[in-house]
């Protein structure tokens, strides 16, 4: 079970680094345009691999439920990209943190 927490910590740190990179890209784009412009997660997904985004919608609607795509997935696609990586990073790092040894002074 110790290896599961190690993998969780590694994945958490990688997601945190990804969130920081996305926040940096958003800040840089905002500085270049002169106005605050958040980068949506859906835009990042589209830029990386548009075919998988196009396949995801019918797959979710057909095999899960159409309301899941409309109510949940679309709203997540509109979130800033850094927040989509930051939330699971924080959860993983909190759940998989090392326990502190009790150090009491007698």
Per-residue model confidence (pLDDT) at position 20 = 97
| Mean pLDDT on 3-16 | 94
pLDDT value for 74: 95
Q: What is the 3-state secondary structure (H, E, C) of the chain?
A: CHHHHHHHHHHHHHHHHHHHHHHHHHHHHHHHHCCCCCCEHHHHHHHHHHHHHHHHHHHHHHHCCHHHHHHHHHHHHHCEHHHHHHHHHHHHHHHCCCCCCCCCCC
Are 81 and 39 in contact by the 8 Å Cβ rule? The answer is: yes
Q: What is the pLDDT of residue 106?
A: 60
pLDDT-derived band at 98 (thresholds 50, 70, 90) equals confident
Predicted model pTM = 0.81
CA 81 to centroid of chain Cα atoms: 7
Identify whether the C-beta of residue 39 lies closer than 8 Å to the C-beta of residue 83.
no
Report the sign of the C-alpha dihedral through residues 86, 91, 97, 102, in that order.
positive
- Whether 12 shows a pLDDT value over 80: the answer reads yes
Mean pLDDT of the chain: 92
* 41-73 tens-digit pLDDT: 999 999 999 999 999 999 999 999 999 999 999
Nearest to 26 by CA among 11, 41, 45: 41
């Amino acid at each position: 079970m110790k290896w599961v927490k190690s993998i969780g910590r590694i994945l958490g740190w990688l997601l945190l680094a990804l969130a920081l990179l996305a926040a940096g890209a958003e800040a840089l784009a905002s500085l270049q345009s002169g106005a605050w412009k958040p980068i949506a997660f859906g835009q990042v997904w589209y830029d990386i691999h548009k075919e998988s985004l196009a396949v995801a919608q019918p797959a979710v609607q057909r095999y899960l439920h159409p309301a899941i795509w409309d109510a949940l997935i679309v709203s997540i696609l509109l979130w800033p990209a850094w927040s989509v990586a930051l939330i699971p990073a924080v959860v993983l790092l909190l759940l998989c943190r090392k326990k502190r040894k009790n150090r009491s002074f007698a």
